[in-house]
Structure 1
Amino acid sequence: MRPEPKSFRYEERDDGVAVITLDRPEKLNALTFEVYAELRDLFAALAHREPVRAVVITGSGRAFCSGGDVHDIIGELFSRDMPGLIEFTRMTCDLVRNIRRLRKPVVAALNGTTAGAGAAIALACDLRVAAAGSKIAFLFVKVGLAGADMGAAHLLPRYVGLAKATELLMLGDAIPAEEAKAIGLHNEVVPADEVLPRALQLAGRLAAGPTFALGVTKELLDEEQHASLHSSLDNEARAQAICMQTRDFREAYDAFVEKRPARFTGR
């Protein structure tokens, strides 16, 4: 069954790319309990959507996502006991978990302000294309929370190194997209009106690729960060042997021999 979220826009394109658009522009696409839950459930459901081979997530208006809504979430949390707070924080972490578990590429099109939980969502994606002049901030500490939220303390050092991650998570300062690209956080920075087209172009290219092999690549990128070299080599040997049994592997060979573009199916 095709997902039908209510709190944001969702589209499946003919090229195999699903587009998620956070759609509360008047609130800089701030997250509510409903948005969190629907995003969590959607990324879980996308694992079973065969027509979808890659995903783009973006925002409407001048922001990608400014984080949790101050009134709709933060204000309400004061009335919760510890089990209620844990229920919420686990839901936010499950969203990141489902993005990383999805064995399909996810591209973040950062059209503007990206802060707090919005920065954590962007961090969980596989590639990030940002608007020139936009900023990103992991500002959890500025509202009295740990900078280690929604996987940020695990993921961010892998992109920018421990020293820079410590700075960003402890100070909570916003940095320009250009600096984020220079330190390895963003993949590309383009003019604002080119962010979504470029993200769709990248996602379309990935959707036309060997989906199974890309899923294995994503899985091993996560697993091998804390594994030894010898364990990683064993994992990669098994993974390649499995990929060699796919139709896509044979198709790549046949296309090379026949001097034509490969037509991957993800099988």
Structure 2
Amino acid sequence: MSLAGFDARHVRLTVEGRVASILLDRPERKNPLTFDSYAELVALFRAAAADDTVGAVVLSGAGGNFCSGGDVHEIIGPLLDRDTKGLMQFTAMTGDLVKAMRACPQPIIAAVDGIAAGAGAIMAMASDMRLATPRAKVAFLFNRVGLAGCDMGACAILPRLIGQGRASELLYTGRSMSAQEGLDWGFFSRAVEPEALVEAAANLARQVVEGPGFANAMTKRMLAMEWSMSVEQAIEAEAVAQALCMTTNDFRRAYDAFVAKRRPVFEGD
């Protein structure tokens, strides 16, 4: 299934050119997730993995906030009545969202405005690039609701983005990371004013999709795989990956364009 034909009912999906945009659209509650929206997001990112007409994904929230996490009334409350098996089913599903985002070959750009808390912070973390507004606040607040900070891959991914000590502070205290801290620590790549956020994310996505699609997907794959490799293993793996990219038509297009002194037009094959 192409993303253009995906029947999204719990989030808003648009596809323009080769950029897919996913909008969390419950602004009156700061865009919390429900059981249904969790499942739909997993399905969306899995569908993206099979759609080579899409080259990048933008993830954002409506109404001046990104995502406030799991809906207190629609998720947190019902979880109190589940047994261990039912709770494991839920936590496996939430983990599936991060797995689907990381397995999705297209780079994902999170446009973070306002609150990104709990699962919202996780979705920002699991994206490949993150833009922020000055009022963005990111909180891995699991311990503030009596849970461990080790949720949905936070203990694996967050230290790689901002360092072990800083990640530890956020996960142990549940406090918010400000936009400026996120910039200083490398969580965000840059900040833009709220009214410019959507267009900045779209421009970055368009810049990505103008590149060689197969090679971009390979970059994302290797960034993930090399976390668990030694430098020597990474060099060997990259040699294979780069050789594969040299078999693509985009590699030849780049050479032909260079010889002709023009900009290459990549097609992703």
Does TM, normalized by the shorter one, top 0.5? Answer: yes
Cα distance in 1 between the residues matched to 2:6 and 2:50: 11
AA aligned opposite 1:141: N
Correspondent of 2:14 among 11, 14, 22: 11
Cα distance in 2 between the residues matched to 1:97 and 1:258: 42
1:73 Cα offset (Å): 0.1
Correspondent of 1:106 among 108, 120, 144: 108
Percentage identity across paired residues of the two chains: 47
Aligned positions of 1:115-154 closer than 5 A = 115-154=117-156
CA offsets per residue over residues 7-53 of structure 1, 9 Å max, x none?
01000002x10000000001100000000000001100011122211
Matched, 1:229 2:227: no
Corresponding residue of 1:210: 212
Cα distance in 1 between the residues matched to 2:153 and 2:245: 29
8 Å CA contact 1:120–1:150 kept in 2: the answer is yes
1:111 Cα offset (Å): 2.1
8 Å CA contact 1:133–1:178 kept in 2: the answer is no
Cα distance in 2 between the residues matched to 1:252 and 1:112: 40
Aligned positions of 1:256-267 closer than 5 A = 256-267=258-269
CA offsets per residue over residues 206-265 of structure 1, 9 Å max, x none?
011111111111111111112111111110000010000001111111111111111111
Which sections of structure 2, spanning at least 5 residues, go unmatched? none
How large is the Cα RMSD of the aligned pairs? 0.8
Corresponding residue of 1:159: 161
Cα distance in 2 between the residues matched to 1:152 and 1:256: 43
CA offsets per residue over residues 184-213 of structure 1, 9 Å max, x none?
111111111111110100001101111111
Cα distance in 1 between the residues matched to 2:145 and 2:100: 26
Runs (4+) of structure 1 moved beyond 2 Å?
none
8 Å CA contact 1:111–1:196 kept in 2: the answer is no
1:175 Cα offset (Å): 1.8
1:162 Cα offset (Å): 0.5
Aligned positions of 1:25-36 closer than 5 A = 25-36=27-38
Give the length in aligned residue pairs.
Answer: 266
**SS of corresponding position for 2:58:** strand
AA aligned opposite 1:197: E
AA aligned opposite 1:263: V
TM norm structure 1 = 0.98
8 Å CA contact 2:113–2:135 kept in 1: the answer is no
CA offsets per residue over residues 131-154 of structure 1, 9 Å max, x none?
112211111110011111111111
Which sections of structure 1, spanning at least 5 residues, go unmatched? none
TM norm structure 2 = 0.97
AA aligned opposite 2:8: P
